[in-house]
């Protein structure tokens, strides 16, 4: 991939209505110059290190920006940055859009914030790949550039963290053995937190913290939803199967508990769900 020289793409949107997320610019700087913006940048601004090291400051914070890290700034946030010594290679992205506040809130992306990720993460090369793609094609409606901005935000949510805790992908890897175990054992009605913790090789407290940070649910609430998902599959694939059999195959001790839980989580009884999709 060619990365020599300062490269920048500024998409032009040729339609009246703004897209929910619009890419304002994307670029690569092989030798980042210092900047001080007392009034900030007019839209969201992302800056990450590809090689070398930077020094960034905002709102009383001063941090080093090595490879595997980036700074996300909201519009009009005063900031400055410079090389930490020697050549500092950066990639950057600026973006705006009417749906950004809600989208970023739903993805739990905060700004201003410093994000970090593991070596080899897709975030290492994502912006250069997007830049190369946009350099090579016309995009008169701004749809491809908007897609690249969405892709960046989803990758930032998935692979990075704003603190020393593991990012989403790392936390998911910690739970992979347990998630597979749950798929194979959800039919067992007596599963408790101790069984889940033992299958994960974690303490109950740590397991609860991981599930709540990833899914917003306790481990047991996640298991119940997994059981209902399996029940929905069985109701559709086995239209003649009695409800008591499906309840037993999905870990419910009796059919009344199954029906009540199904209705609470889906808004339908099992029979109505089945008949409405027959």
Residue 1 lies in a domain: no
One domain, residues 50 and 111: yes
10-14 contact pairs (CB < 8 A, 24+): 11/134, 11/139, 11/142, 11/145, 12/140, 12/142, 13/141, 13/142, 14/140, 14/141, 14/142
Per-residue pLDDT at 137 exceeds 60: yes
Per-residue pLDDT at 71 exceeds 90: yes
Per-residue pLDDT at 81 exceeds 50: yes
Look at residues 103, 130, 161 and tell me which one is the last residue of a structural domain.
Answer: 161
Q: 6 falls in which pLDDT band (50, 70, 90)? A: very high
Q: 149 falls in which pLDDT band (50, 70, 90)? A: very high
One domain, residues 105 and 68: yes
pTM reported for the whole predicted model:
0.66
One domain, residues 147 and 25: yes
Tell me what pLDDT residue 14 has. Answer: 58
One domain, residues 99 and 153: yes
Residue 106 lies in a domain: yes
How much is the average pLDDT of 228-233?
A: 96
- Contact by Cβ (8 Å): 155, 126: yes
Mean pLDDT, the chain, rounded, equals: 90
Higher per-residue confidence, 168 vs 162? 162
One domain, residues 157 and 177: no
Residue 214 lies in a domain: yes
One domain, residues 53 and 139: yes
How much is the average pLDDT of 144-163?
A: 90
Look at residues 161, 183, 210 and tell me which one is the last residue of a structural domain.
Answer: 161
Number of domains, the chain: 2
One domain, residues 113 and 141: yes
Tell me what pLDDT residue 1 has. Answer: 44
- Contact by Cβ (8 Å): 77, 40: yes
Residue 2 lies in a domain: no
pLDDT > 70 in the chain, percent: 94
CATH number (domain holding residue 41): 2.60.120.280
Owning domain of residue 11: 7-161
Residue 238 lies in a domain: yes
Query: Of the ranges 134-138, 162-166, 178-182, which one carries the lowest mean pLDDT score?
Result: 162-166
Higher per-residue confidence, 119 vs 131? 131
Look at residues 128, 161, 194 and tell me which one is the last residue of a structural domain.
Answer: 161
One domain, residues 107 and 60: yes
Per-residue pLDDT at 168 exceeds 70: no
Residue 60 lies in a domain: yes
One domain, residues 32 and 152: yes
At 144, which helix (H) or strand (E)?
Answer: helix 143-159
One domain, residues 180 and 111: no
Tell me what pLDDT residue 27 has. Answer: 96
CATH number (domain holding residue 179): 1.10.10.60
One domain, residues 260 and 175: yes
Per-residue pLDDT at 164 exceeds 60: no
Residue 199 lies in a domain: yes
How much is the average pLDDT of 228-253?
A: 95
One domain, residues 29 and 120: yes
Residue 99 lies in a domain: yes
Q: Residues 184-205, buried b or exposed e (16+ Cβ, 10 A)?
A: eebeeeebeeebbbebbebeee
């Amino acid at each position: 991939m060619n990365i020599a020289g300062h490269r920048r793409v500024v998409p032009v949107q040729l339609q009246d209505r703004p897209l929910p997320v619009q890419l304002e610019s994307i670029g690569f700087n092989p030798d980042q110059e210092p900047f001080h913006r007392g009034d900030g940048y007019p839209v969201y601004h992302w800056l990450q290190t590809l090689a070398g090291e930077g020094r960034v400051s905002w709102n009383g914070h001063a941090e080093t920006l090595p490879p595997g890290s980036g700074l996300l700034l909201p519009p009009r946030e005063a900031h400055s940055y410079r090389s930490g010594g020697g050549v500092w290679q950066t990639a950057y992205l600026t973006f705006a859009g009417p749906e950004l506040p809600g989208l970023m809130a739903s993805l739990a992306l905060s700004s201003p914030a410093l994000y970090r990720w593991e070596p080899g993460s897709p975030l290492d090369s994502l912006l250069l790949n997007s830049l190369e793609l946009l350099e090579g094609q016309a995009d008169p409606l701004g749809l491809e550039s908007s897609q690249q901005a969405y892709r960046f935000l989803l990758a930032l949510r998935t692979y990075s963290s704003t603190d020393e805790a593991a990012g989403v992908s790392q936390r998911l890897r910690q739970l992979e053995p347990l998630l597979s175990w749950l798929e194979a054992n959800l039919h067992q009605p007596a599963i408790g937190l101790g069984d889940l913790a033992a299958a994960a090789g974690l303490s109950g407290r740590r397991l609860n913290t991981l599930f709540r940070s990833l899914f917003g649910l306790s481990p047991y609430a996640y298991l119940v939803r997994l059981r209902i998902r399996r029940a929905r599959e069985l109701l559709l694939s086995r239209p003649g199967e009695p409800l008591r059999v499906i309840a037993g195959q999905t870990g419910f001790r009796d059919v009344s508990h199954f029906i009540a839980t199904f209705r609470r989580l889906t808004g339908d009884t099992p029979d109505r769900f089945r008949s409405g999709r027959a």
